[in-house]
Chain A
Amino acid sequence: MRSALVVLTLALIATSCVREDECPSALAAPLTPQARYVLGEASPYPADLGLRSREDELATNMGARRENGWRMIRAAIEPVEIELASRTAEVPRFATFYDREDLRRVFRHLELQDPETPAPSEAALESAFEWNTRAVRERASWPLSRLNEYEESLSSDERLHGAGGISRVLFDPIAAAHLVGSAREIAACDASASAGPAELAEFRGALEVEARCEPARFGPFVVARGARLTASVTGDALEVDMEGGGSCVKEMGRVVCEVSGPAEVSIVATGPVGVAAPVEVRVTGADPSRAPCLAGPFPDGAAILKAEYRRADFGFDVPVFATDADAQSERLSASSRREFTSSASVVPADEDVYVVELEGGARYRLVALHLMTKELDHWGWATLFWSDDPDGDFGADRPPFPAPFDHYKMCTVTWFGEESPPITGGLPALDAALQASSDAVGSTWCANPYLETGAGNAATNCIGCHQYAGTGAGVGEILGRADGGRELARSSFLTDYVWSASIIRELALEP
């Protein structure tokens, strides 16, 4: 008796259609070596590794989904302690995450720009990221006295929070290590060759009843959401069924069983002892375990974050976006441009928005935070956006959050399509906005007004866009699809939904 375990996962990404590698701001105010020295190693995202067991619930229960979204955000903004020379201070966890420049330093430290350098081991990666926290000490221009002066300059919360810069994309330690560790695969990846039709997973064996009253079993197979398993058992001597879901039918001298994910099934057979029947199992559909342009899919617990800041100097204001039911209906109607347009701009009070001050004195306001976490096979997705009406619609169910993060709204998705009414059932304004959004787009909806700019982009659900990561498809091409880029269209995920794998490709191209 053979058993096989197939884990088919669909990466769900709660961010919408913005390729971070297409953003000209990506180099703005990076995280400097002196800041890394102060911040130490990035604080790991505290993942809920039991979340997979709730995947069905998240897909079918908006209340549970949103509760999980807020949990994700809370985990990202949770204060973590850092030890300064003269005191202990706190910064939000995400402010310790690694940015492109961290990756660059580690990449070069490992000499990965040399194509002959072998892929780094886990230990080498760990050592390199640890070295990164001390890299500044190798610089003659940064004696300890200057570092102490630098630390002392981080005297205010805004300055301390700004130590990490305003890089657009940030990585927790697991995600950062996986990206750097995938340097060879990313460099070698031929997106066009890897973007073919669905690959099949095939398993062949036999069902043979070895004892009376003891069914033969082939499996179990874990079939992920979006995948489909078909089993074919030749002959009609055995009674064949599928355990755990699905159904079987007899036809022309064989039994065919089918089930759609998510499911965990085994093919079972009863009948005369000693009789064997060949069995063939094929699994098709989205397979998040396939990330051919990486050294495998991202490990559990990885977190990647996209931040959007707006300058707070020079009288710059912040556009505001209504997201109530009426606004969503109008914005997302098929006849509209499906674009976020603001009706007004405001200058938020400093206590109402997360503000960072950079080394040169420039001040920025955080207006959006976009989080994807590898707590589900297809990631969990939550996106936060600032609002001058923080407790309305998408902020109505926010649990108690510390200021200024209580001035942000949130949306979240875990799948392409809604599998139940898209409402929480308890908060009228939120439910109306959710229902209006879902009604208009016909699938899950989650788009960030500060990130998903341009026509068509307000109607996305992020996961739809990110499924194309690594393929070379541009945002225009994705949004231009008949489904607006919202529906599941791929069977393999070249860079496991992560656009910013391109950073590694860029680093490899640097002279």
Chain B
Amino acid sequence: MRALCFALTVLSLTVMGCGDDDGVGMDTGADVGTDTAVDTVVDSSPSDDAEEDAAPDTGTYVDVSLYTALDTPDDELADDAVAILTGDRARCTSCHGLTQDRVVAWGEMTTNALGCVDGLDPNNRDDAESILECFRTDGTGDPEKLGLVATAPHLAWFERAFEVVYNSGAAIQRTVFGSAGQMPRPPGDPVTQDDVDVLLTWAARGMPGLVERFPGGGLDCEPDIDPRVGTHVAEMGRVGWNVINREEGVSMYGCPDGEWGRACLKELQTSDDVDYGEGWATDGTLIRILFEYPYQSAFWTRSSADGRYVAHGNSPDTDVGRAGIVDLERGVVVIAQATYDPSFFPDNSGFLIQGVMGDAGGRGGGGFCRQSLLNSSPELVTFDEPECTQLRNIGLYQHVGAVAGGDYWTVFSQFVSDNGGHSTTRDPVSAEFDANARMTMVPIVHDGSGYRSLTARRFDIPFEGDATISNSSQLVVTRIRGESGEQSGFHLYGIRAELEDGEYNVDTTNLGTYCIRGAKPDFSFDERYITFHRYLTDDDAAEFGFEDADDPAFREYRRQGAANVYLLDLLTGRTTRITTMNPGQYALFPHFRADGWVYFVVRDNPRGVETVAASNAVAE
């Protein structure tokens, strides 16, 4: 048992171990860490009793460690860690704003993670199972449980744990685990064991030097709408994807005889027809109930331009595939072997879902398929179909657009994960974007034989993130981090991409600033509106007709939370709430289909189901 004892000792010392005064709020304990010799932490060295402890069914004992604690001085260690986190190789900042708050949060997650595996030996089957269980949610790796340990699932310590638990199935299980739990996501390169040693040593010491290396900051919001917004909206009214799709005869879901917009979906129940939907629709609007499913979706939901397909992370059978595509026409959920973040192209031609699951070789990246694949009524999308291809240099939180007669574009940036509403969610979605935030635009071009994503164009957008591109690819909206650390508004950019001498010249211009809060914005097809959701806070009590947040009648909202869908008119800056959800009901991830119906998902905690619904608030 020597190894276990040793591991326990060292781990407990290091986790408690002592950073500088600017640690991350963990219990710093006694200062025993900085000048110690190189220790092997969470070690699996064989003990005298190794034969008892090791996994007898997997053969030889393998000497592996999650990480090796370094004796590097704090300052140097902090510099090394920051270099890894912010460097081009790991590309953490491609997705995450490395604000002080966020890194602190990662530190706390990491402490919990290390504590969870404290003393466990991946060579021992029971221990190995415990290790994996420490980090899993719904069968896959959970970054929030892993913290910075999420940089290590591809390395030897995890490899041994999977091998011991799953034998020949280890590689597949590790791929599934990593599809959500491995950081960085593609296109970032996996970090090395040396880097993991640095990161986990730094976290274990309490992240010394964090404050000075990750200062705060943000942007105040000044409302502004450039007159060119009007010009653009007028142009889209003539040649936007709503016009093109209508003229191309795109058959909208629920629109008989070529109907369009408000005339559609009449065969479906309204929210007023169902008891749980009482009061959902705001004055002058109608909400239709499209579909209901008994499992919890993960992260955002998006739909095809024709409104027939509604996709999200998670599925009815996550062993088969971790994303679901609801086919409203057939009333079924098609399982997709990807993970989350679906996008549909505005010309109704295709879709993209991130985190393609794979065989032992692993795949990852975005799976991009022609929509005709879905029209053929599949039960499963594997992304091996001839209609599909893999795009590997598209970061998470991507949104897509298309230039009529031109190329597809996708944009991604630092983002804030938002998977709220599964339980009481009362905090507004944060705006953890840092001073080095950048927006990346990637053209997806047809090279003659298939689609390829090309070299990215990057733009500095300090303290902004969650970038979303419009359907025409001519606008981008971002969320702005305010000085307080919370969102201060939305920033609207104009995008001009021109092919000159065989290369794209891409320029951005400021078109507007809208000083309101909201998450997961999405553009309408006529590009006049964005829609977004907002979690209910105490500040909203008056808007919902309560005296204030202490009003007894508001109590259920405080207890169960709620979220609602809003529209922002980019021309006028006017914000309109288009749902009034009841306590425990979260209207989330609103987005448009081509004829202006706003689809959204309702995470209905009191009923334990999720509902896809649609509002006609600005349907044509």
Known contacts A24-B388, A24-B389, A510-B251; decide if A29 and B446 are in contact (CB<8 Å). Answer: yes
The interface bits of chain A over 103-126 (1 if a CB of B lies within 8 angstroms of the residue's CB, else 0) are 001001000000000000000000
CA distance A363 to B375 in the complex (A): 31
Is there contact, CB below 8 Å, between A361 and B449? Answer: no
Is there contact, CB below 8 Å, between A32 and B445? Answer: no
B502 partner, pick from A19, A141, A312, A509, beta carbons under 8 A: A312
Is there contact, CB below 8 Å, between B448 and A367? Answer: yes
Is there contact, CB below 8 Å, between A360 and B349? Answer: no
**A residues in contact with B403, CB < 8 Å:** 360
**A residues in contact with B386, CB < 8 Å:** 19, 22-24
CA distance A308 to B239 in the complex (A): 29
Q: How far is the CB of A143 from chain B (nearest CB, A)?
A: 10
Q: Which residue of B lies closest to A165 (CB)?
A: B405
Is there contact, CB below 8 Å, between A141 and B375? Answer: no
Q: How far is the CB of A39 from chain B (nearest CB, A)?
A: 16
CA distance A368 to B448 in the complex (A): 11
Is there contact, CB below 8 Å, between B454 and A24? Answer: no
Is there contact, CB below 8 Å, between A511 and B503? Answer: no
- Residues facing A in B220-245 (CB within 8 A) are 238-239, 243-244
Would you call B361 an interface residue if the criterion is a C-beta within 8 Å of the partner chain's C-beta atoms?
Answer: no
CA distance A27 to B388 in the complex (A): 12
Known contacts A361-B498, A511-B329; decide if A308 and B405 are in contact (CB<8 Å). Answer: no
Would you call A311 an interface residue if the criterion is a C-beta within 8 Å of the partner chain's C-beta atoms?
Answer: yes
Most B CB within 10 A of own CB, among A25, A32, A313:
A313
Is there contact, CB below 8 Å, between A358 and B502? Answer: no
**B residues in contact with A27, CB < 8 Å:** 349-350, 370, 372
Known contacts A141-B239, A315-B502; decide if A24 and B451 are in contact (CB<8 Å). Answer: yes
Range of interface residues on A (Cβ < 8 Å): 35 or more
Is there contact, CB below 8 Å, between A308 and B247? Answer: no
- Residues facing A in B335-385 (CB within 8 A) are 349-350, 369-370, 372, 375-377
Known contacts A141-B243, A358-B406, A506-B372; decide if A166 and B306 are in contact (CB<8 Å). Answer: no
Would you call B249 an interface residue if the criterion is a C-beta within 8 Å of the partner chain's C-beta atoms?
Answer: yes
CA distance A32 to B253 in the complex (A): 24
Would you call B22 an interface residue if the criterion is a C-beta within 8 Å of the partner chain's C-beta atoms?
Answer: no
Q: How far is the CB of A347 from chain B (nearest CB, A)?
A: 10
A360 partner, pick from B377, B406, B450, beta carbons under 8 A: B406
Is there contact, CB below 8 Å, between A362 and B448? Answer: no
CA distance A511 to B258 in the complex (A): 11
Q: How far is the CB of A88 from chain B (nearest CB, A)?
A: 25
- Residues facing B in A7-61 (CB within 8 A) are 19, 22-29, 32-33
Is there contact, CB below 8 Å, between B247 and A141? Answer: yes
**A residues in contact with B499, CB < 8 Å:** 313, 360-362
CA distance A28 to B368 in the complex (A): 14
The interface bits of chain A over 338-371 (1 if a CB of B lies within 8 angstroms of the residue's CB, else 0) are 0000000000000000000011111111010000
CA distance A308 to B447 in the complex (A): 10
**B residues in contact with A364, CB < 8 Å:** 448
The interface bits of chain B over 443-477 (1 if a CB of A lies within 8 angstroms of the residue's CB, else 0) are 00111111100110000000000000000000000
Q: How far is the CB of A103 from chain B (nearest CB, A)?
A: 13
Most A CB within 10 A of own CB, among B404, B499, B503:
B499
Number of B interface residues at 8 Å Cβ cutoff, please give it: 41
Known contacts A141-B239, A314-B454; decide if A511 and B406 are in contact (CB<8 Å). Answer: no
Is there contact, CB below 8 Å, between B251 and A311? Answer: no
Would you call A310 an interface residue if the criterion is a C-beta within 8 Å of the partner chain's C-beta atoms?
Answer: yes
Is there contact, CB below 8 Å, between A511 and B251? Answer: yes
Q: Which residue of B lies closest to A308 (CB)?
A: B448
Would you call B205 an interface residue if the criterion is a C-beta within 8 Å of the partner chain's C-beta atoms?
Answer: no
Would you call A139 an interface residue if the criterion is a C-beta within 8 Å of the partner chain's C-beta atoms?
Answer: yes
**B residues in contact with A25, CB < 8 Å:** 446, 448-451
Is there contact, CB below 8 Å, between B406 and A24? Answer: no
CA distance A322 to B251 in the complex (A): 48
**B residues in contact with A131, CB < 8 Å:** none
CA distance A179 to B387 in the complex (A): 22
Would you call B21 an interface residue if the criterion is a C-beta within 8 Å of the partner chain's C-beta atoms?
Answer: no
**B residues in contact with A166, CB < 8 Å:** 446, 448
Q: How far is the CB of A415 from chain B (nearest CB, A)?
A: 29
CA distance A105 to B250 in the complex (A): 11
CA distance A25 to B349 in the complex (A): 11
**B residues in contact with A362, CB < 8 Å:** 406-407, 445-446, 499
Most A CB within 10 A of own CB, among B447, B450, B503:
B447
**A residues in contact with B349, CB < 8 Å:** 27
Binding site for B on A (CB under 8 A): 19, 22-29, 32-33, 105, 108, 139-141, 166, 308-316, 358-365, 367, 506, 509-511
20 contacts across the A-B interface (CB closer than 8 A): A24-B388, A25-B446, A25-B448, A25-B449, A25-B450, A25-B451, A26-B370, A32-B405, A166-B448, A308-B449, A314-B503, A316-B447, A360-B404, A360-B499, A361-B406, A362-B406, A362-B445, A362-B446, A362-B499, A506-B376
Known contacts A308-B448, A362-B406; 20 further A-B pairs (Cβ under 8 A)? A19-B386, A23-B386, A24-B450, A26-B370, A141-B239, A141-B243, A141-B244, A166-B446, A316-B447, A359-B406, A360-B404, A360-B407, A360-B499, A361-B406, A363-B502, A509-B375, A510-B251, A511-B251, A511-B308, A511-B375
